[in-house]
Structure 1
Amino acid sequence: MKGLSRASLAEVEERFNAVAGSADLGTLADELFAIADLLDREHGLRRSLSDPARPAGQKAQVVQVLLEGKVSVAALETAVAAVSAKWTRGGDLADALERLGVVAAAAEAEAQSRLDDVEDELFRFGRIAASNLDLSRALTNPASPEAAKRELLVSLLTGKVAPTTLRLVTQVVLHPRGRSLENGLTDFGQLVAAQRQRLVAVVRSAIALSEVQKQRLAAWLRTSYGRDVHLNVEVDPQVIGGFSVRIGDDLIDTTIAGRIEEVRRRLAG
């Protein structure tokens, strides 16, 4: 988000933080996802509630009529704060509510001491889906019923991942909102990591790193970036010597292949 929407998001997050403490966080996450999904489906409603020229009080009243008694007080107050704010574009309103749903789910995982599990599981499921064409098609086919996708996810993940992971994967699959499955899982993974103000590093190596190696790499990255860094390690046999680390737009490439490519670029220049 940019400009006006970024400032509005900060205001809504402040209200969310004030009401989420006493809420059932899993339920709150589901309710915020449902409200975001409603706005995505009902284009006229979204345009009306995100119209900056319409008085905030009128928009808040519409939300109260629609949602009061159907969602928790925390979800209702968060939604009222969201529609009362001003957004650069209409889609930012739904984006903000979905984002806060992810934050609520991550807070629940943190309270259960499973935040690390959720980060790892989102990353691993994304890699599994990317490497399994049949699974990817089953989960992303727009003609496939939502019920069938949900049932598939439940059969694959129940008892094998944290409940928060299943909740977040289900949201990405059933409501992609213009994202690919991989990008949606990556976006959610970054929001989960931000629950502890951590960066996410994707490490590619030809062989699995030992725990000692991962601890040393994490410590070095923490010193370099001034923040804790969560490592998602991907074993890639195509990597020749060394490893690469990507954090956002930054790439640290110590592989032999990377060095060869750098030499080629310099010679070409």
Structure 2
Amino acid sequence: MGSATTQALSVTNAALGAASGIDLTVASELFQAARAVGASSHLSAALADFPAPAEARAKVVADVFGPVFAPVTVELLTTVTQQRWSSVADLVDGIEELAVRAASVAAPDGDLGAELFRFFRTVAENPELELALGSRVGDSAAKSQLVASLLEGRESGAAVLVISSLVRQTRGRRVRDILTRAMAIVGDQRSQLIATVVTASELTPAQSDRLTATLSQRYGADIALNIVIDPSIVGGLRVQIADDVIDASVSARLADLRQRLAG
């Protein structure tokens, strides 16, 4: 990510934080805008024409999106296009990131990150589903409908919106990579670190609370747990936060013991 994009993201994220009336409609419109810009070389060129006056780019936003989108959505898109992005691809990614953040803002009481992680695990465990959603030749609307049919009634409206929107325009990215990025964005929006916890059996609420408190104290931040059940670790836990791995599993201890005996 270039320095221009880093600065642009900072400005647009601040604009979202200052905006009022952010709901799932706004998030949906931002996703629609990301798809429109990503699919049209003419539109993306006009909005990424950084030598052009800012007023000209604002007029393009007003002309294209003003008649159909909510005023707050148009204001956010105008802010996005006023920034200098390192590339057109970064501009599209920036709008998409803003959409994910808006969905998180619109559902403050839900655990959007956990819902995204559950679908991530579903995709990881079903190669045929990942192939169907990631295919470059598949109909994008059909992919969105497939996600909706799988998640409607099981996950929140915010989760259905985010996942069904992201799979409509993968832009050559793997579905799991897209979901991983979305989880990181939601965690950042909520000022949380994401801990992926691998355990041999389901944790009790008390165990989850103790683990969360311990990790929060260690890292000095709020922690969101993503739990993976894997009997092969036998017992104990393996915890990963970003690149930091804490492996206290029985299988790891046994492997270490075997290595010492062999060496």
Q: Same fold (TM over 0.5)?
A: yes
Secondary structure in 2 matching 1:174: coil
Structure 2 residue 90 is the aligned partner of structure 1 residue 92 = yes
Whole-angstrom distance in 1 between the partners of 2:257 and 2:177: 31
Alpha-carbon shift at residue 219 of structure 1 (Å): 0.6
Q: Does the C-alpha gap of structure 1 residues 262 and 93 become closer, same or farther in structure 2, counting only changes over 3 Å?
A: farther
Aligned to 2:186: 192
Alpha-carbon shift at residue 176 of structure 1 (Å): 1.7
Aligned sequence identity (%)? 33
Q: Which amino acid aligns with 2:21?
A: S
Cα displacement string for residues 137-185 of structure 1 (whole angstroms, at most 9, x for unaligned residues): 3322222222322332222211111111100110122122332111211
Q: Normalising by structure 2, report the TM-score.
A: 0.91
- Do 1:126 and 1:185's aligned partners in 2 also have CA atoms closer than 8 Å? yes
Cα displacement string for residues 45-66 of structure 1 (whole angstroms, at most 9, x for unaligned residues): 3233223322222212222222
Q: Which amino acid aligns with 1:62?
A: V
Alpha-carbon shift at residue 133 of structure 1 (Å): 2.5
- Do 1:16 and 1:74's aligned partners in 2 also have CA atoms closer than 8 Å? no
Structure 2 residue 252 is the aligned partner of structure 1 residue 258 = yes
- 1:37 pairs, out of 35, 38, 51, with 35
Secondary structure in 1 matching 2:245: strand
Aligned to 2:240: 246
- Do 1:32 and 1:100's aligned partners in 2 also have CA atoms closer than 8 Å? yes
Alpha-carbon shift at residue 260 of structure 1 (Å): 5.7
Aligned to 1:15: 15
Alpha-carbon shift at residue 240 of structure 1 (Å): 3.5
Q: Normalising by structure 1, report the TM-score.
A: 0.89
Q: Which amino acid aligns with 2:148?
A: V
- Do 2:15 and 2:79's aligned partners in 1 also have CA atoms closer than 8 Å? yes
Alpha-carbon shift at residue 29 of structure 1 (Å): 0.5
Whole-angstrom distance in 2 between the partners of 1:133 and 1:259: 31
Q: Indicate the RMSD between aligned Cα atoms, in angstroms.
A: 2.3
Whole-angstrom distance in 2 between the partners of 1:135 and 1:154: 13
Aligned to 2:114: 120
Q: Which amino acid aligns with 2:3?
A: G
Whole-angstrom distance in 1 between the partners of 2:8 and 2:134: 32
Whole-angstrom distance in 1 between the partners of 2:17 and 2:213: 31
Structure 2 residue 176 is the aligned partner of structure 1 residue 176 = no
Aligned to 1:233: 227
Structure 2 residue 100 is the aligned partner of structure 1 residue 106 = no
Aligned to 1:217: 211
Alpha-carbon shift at residue 76 of structure 1 (Å): 0.9
- Do 2:147 and 2:164's aligned partners in 1 also have CA atoms closer than 8 Å? yes
User: What runs of 5+ residues in structure 2 fail to find an aligned partner?
Assistant: none
Whole-angstrom distance in 2 between the partners of 1:87 and 1:233: 36
Cα displacement string for residues 68-119 of structure 1 (whole angstroms, at most 9, x for unaligned residues): 2121111111111111111122211111111111111111111xx22x2x22
Q: Does the C-alpha gap of structure 1 residues 243 and 70 become closer, same or farther in structure 2, counting only changes over 3 Å?
A: same
Aligned to 2:61: 63
Bigger mean CA deviation after superposition, 145-154 or 68-77? 145-154
Bigger mean CA deviation after superposition, 146-155 or 232-241? 146-155
Aligned to 2:124: 130
Q: Does the C-alpha gap of structure 1 residues 264 and 48 become closer, same or farther in structure 2, counting only changes over 3 Å?
A: farther
- Do 1:206 and 1:243's aligned partners in 2 also have CA atoms closer than 8 Å? yes
Alpha-carbon shift at residue 250 of structure 1 (Å): 1.0
- Do 2:184 and 2:194's aligned partners in 1 also have CA atoms closer than 8 Å? yes
Number of aligned residues: 263
- Do 1:244 and 1:251's aligned partners in 2 also have CA atoms closer than 8 Å? yes
Alpha-carbon shift at residue 261 of structure 1 (Å): 5.7
